[in-house]
Amino acid sequence: MQLLDGKKISEQLLEEIKADVEKLRSGNKKIPHLAVILVGNNPASETYVGSKIKTCERIGFKSTLIHLPDTIEEAVLLQKIEELNKDSDIDGFIVQSPLPKHISDEKVINAISPAKDVDGFHPENLGRMALNMPAFLPATPYGVITLLDRYDIPTAGKHCVVIGRSHIVGLPVSLLMMRNSKPGNCTVTVCHSKTVDLKSYTLQADILIVATGQTESVTADMVKEGAVVVDVGISRVPDDTKKSGFRLAGDVKFDEVAPKCSYITPVPGGVGPMTIASLLKNTLEGVKRKTA
């Protein structure tokens, strides 16, 4: 069993991006500028957004955090998005989810200019991605395929089973694994909360991608010997032996599944760090595309 070390690979990616930013700087070219809109005070979102901004600083990007109260009216948020669409200094921006209930996710996503949608959530980017046209790929799925690519894991002709069909992970990652591309060219099965006899599918997976948010729900009896397992989940589990009172766990029961795998992502240190690196890669690619 070999670990798919997302921490290590994301460090490599960030160093590559940083070197590109230095080249832009020495050539007096525009420095990539990412803006992040955060609405409200969801603690997990504050942590994620904080890491995104900190990582921008580390690699030499400009960044702007726009923190809005959770009472903000939808129309005011949409107006802010329009301002960012028009701001020529901003190369890309994201609106961190989840949003408060009174705000429509769909309206927000549709309001973002596809050319600045570095989260890759706009229907135009998702459509272009599905058709294998140049597009911003959603950060987590992009991180997953980059991890498989950097470990040179063969995917063509393999059976990839995805558990989960969310717009952020399950749906786009299943399309990416199916595309005529490398990584890709898998035969893909997508399982979800209404799937009957989940195990009968997961046992057939050469590559199993788990994105359900159901902590440690994939157990050893569900995994084929030699499978590649990618765990997208991350959650806190109470643990009295830890000073913090919790430990981080994925959607896969790592200790019992890992011995059966050829490759598996740890949690933390697997897909998580790849997500931020992929978002920043998108922002850099956006700048390059504009100036190409």
Q: Footprint of ligand GUN on residues 162-181 (CB under 6 A)?
A: 168
Regarding 251 and contact with ligand GUN (CB under 6 A), the answer is no
Segment near ligand GUN (CB under 6 A); pick from 63-71, 89-97, 107-115, 194-202 = 89-97
Regarding 17 and contact with ligand GUN (CB under 6 A), the answer is no
Q: Which is nearer to ligand GUN, 211 or 261 (CB)?
A: 211
Rounded CA-CA distance 63/278 in Å is 16
Regarding 117 and contact with ligand GUN (CB under 6 A), the answer is no
Total binding residues for ligand GUN by CB under 6 A?
Answer: 8
CB of 169 to ligand GUN, least distance (A): 8
Q: Is 52 a catalytic residue?
A: yes
Q: Which is nearer to ligand GUN, 95 or 207 (CB)?
A: 95
Q: Is 231 a catalytic residue?
A: no
Q: Which residue type, as a one-letter code, is found at position 210?
A: V
Interface residue with ligand GUN among 84, 94, 145, 208 (CB under 6 A) is: 94
**Chain centre distance of CA 21:** 22
Catalytic, out of 20, 91, 119, 231: 119
Regarding 103 and contact with ligand GUN (CB under 6 A), the answer is no
Interface residue with ligand GUN among 10, 55, 63, 96 (CB under 6 A) is: 96
Segment near ligand GUN (CB under 6 A); pick from 53-61, 92-100, 258-266, 283-291 = 92-100
Regarding 139 and contact with ligand GUN (CB under 6 A), the answer is yes
* Residues β-bridged to residue 209: 162, 230
Catalytic, out of 20, 91, 96, 251: 96
CB of 289 to ligand GUN, least distance (A): 20
Catalytic, out of 52, 80, 116, 253: 52
Q: Is 79 a catalytic residue?
A: no
Residue whose entry in the numeric block shows the structure tokens 């949409």: 78
Residues classed as catalytic? 52, 96, 119
